[in-house]
Structure 1
Amino acid sequence: MILIDADACPVKSEITEVALRRNMQAIFVAGSYLRLTNHPLIKLFVAGDKFDAADDAIAEVARPGTVTITADILLAERVIKAGGAALDPRGREFTETSIGETVASRNLMHELRPGMEGMTGGQGGGQPPFGPRDRAAFKNALDRILTRMAKG
């Protein structure tokens, strides 16, 4: 099963394509209604607009054999602790080995951000624009994880 933190996910169509090709269920979890492909394997779960409602819903069902697509590092950590796999929309897999360092870096940047605004003129660097290479890298990474899971 593929679980998707769907509200800001830029690879919904790629996930749908992979899920249908592999005959796997994909559950898009969002705070409100999203338009998705009409197919029995593609589901939408509306978690509501409570803070972290979608994250909580995903973490509740994540387990070994599930893959979660999220850019949220703290959700990825919860999924990994539950035994699931986690992948960001750019194709980077979060692992038991990498998640601790990733969370620590995220927390450090979160703490530094308010003090750095004056030094950058209020403009953050952020991620580069999302493009075709990112989409291809994501699909390849998702296929790799699903193949590895299928082999057990």
Structure 2
Amino acid sequence: MKIIVDADACPKTVLSICKNIGGQYVVPVWTVASFHHVIESDHHIVVGGDSQEADLKVINLTQAGDLVITQDWGLAAMVLGKGAAALSPGGREYRPGQMDFMLEERELKAKLRRSGGRTRGPKKRTAENDQAFEAALGRLLEKLHTTNL
């Protein structure tokens, strides 16, 4: 089991929480990001700057039983299909039953933006967001750790 972080757009506090909790559970933390980002990690993979290149690397690294941290709904759907778990930096666990709706919502928002419309961006990250992520990560690792024993 490993934690794989889609580090291209991941907040630094989330990376730090992953490293701390991964260490507590003795689970290695892998980070994947394009060469445009400077990431401090024991297991870091640098990819090119092409669109989706980091996502493809995350998918290729992922095995059943792993945990992927990403805010990309499409990537989350792909890793769930491989038998891995997925968690957003906000602490939301992605579940297979939700993905069709989430991907449809993503497509509708993209269509609106392509036609000149605007959608809201993410809110400024708070300490409460970090606490929620840390609690969700701990719960999910505990669940995955006990099912893998």
Give the structure-2-normalised TM-score.
0.89
- Is 1:135–2:136 an aligned residue pair? no
Judging changes above 3 Å, is the alpha-carbon distance between structure 1 residues 24 and 74 closer, same or farther for their aligned structure 2 residues? same
- Is 1:59–2:59 an aligned residue pair? yes
CA distance in 2, matches of 1:78, 1:91: 18
CA distance in 1, matches of 2:39, 2:116: 38
Tell me the CA shift for residue 63 of structure 1. 2.1
- Preserved CA contact (<8 Å) 1:63 1:82: yes
- Preserved CA contact (<8 Å) 1:34 1:44: no
Tell me the CA shift for residue 12 of structure 1. 1.1
CA distance in 2, matches of 1:112, 1:35: 33
Deviant stretches of 4+, over 4 Å: none
Tell me the CA shift for residue 89 of structure 1. 0.4
What are the superposed Cα offsets for residues 103-133 of structure 1, whole Å, 9 maximum, x if unpaired?
A: 111111111123353xxxx6x4222111101
Q: What 5-or-longer segments of structure 2 have no aligned partner? A: none
Which structure has the bigger radius of gyration?
1
CA distance in 2, matches of 1:90, 1:60: 24
CA distance in 1, matches of 2:120, 2:54: 27
Tell me the CA shift for residue 59 of structure 1. 0.5
What are the superposed Cα offsets for residues 74-95 of structure 1, whole Å, 9 maximum, x if unpaired?
A: 1111111111111110001111
CA distance in 1, matches of 2:123, 2:92: 15
What is aligned with 2:38? 34
- Is 1:145–2:140 an aligned residue pair? yes
Tell me the CA shift for residue 99 of structure 1. 1.2
In the alignment of these two chains, the number of paired residues is 143
CA distance in 2, matches of 1:28, 1:34: 11
Give the structure-1-normalised TM-score.
0.87
AA paired with 1:36?
Answer: E
Q: Tell me the percent identity.
A: 29
Select the residue among 4, 14, 18 that pairs with 1:15. 18
AA paired with 2:53?
Answer: A
What is aligned with 1:86? 86
What is aligned with 1:114? 114
CA RMSD of aligned residues (A): 1.5
SS at the partner of 2:115?
Answer: helix
CA distance in 1, matches of 2:59, 2:79: 6
CA distance in 1, matches of 2:18, 2:90: 12
CA distance in 2, matches of 1:35, 1:151: 30
Q: What 5-or-longer segments of structure 1 have no aligned partner? A: none
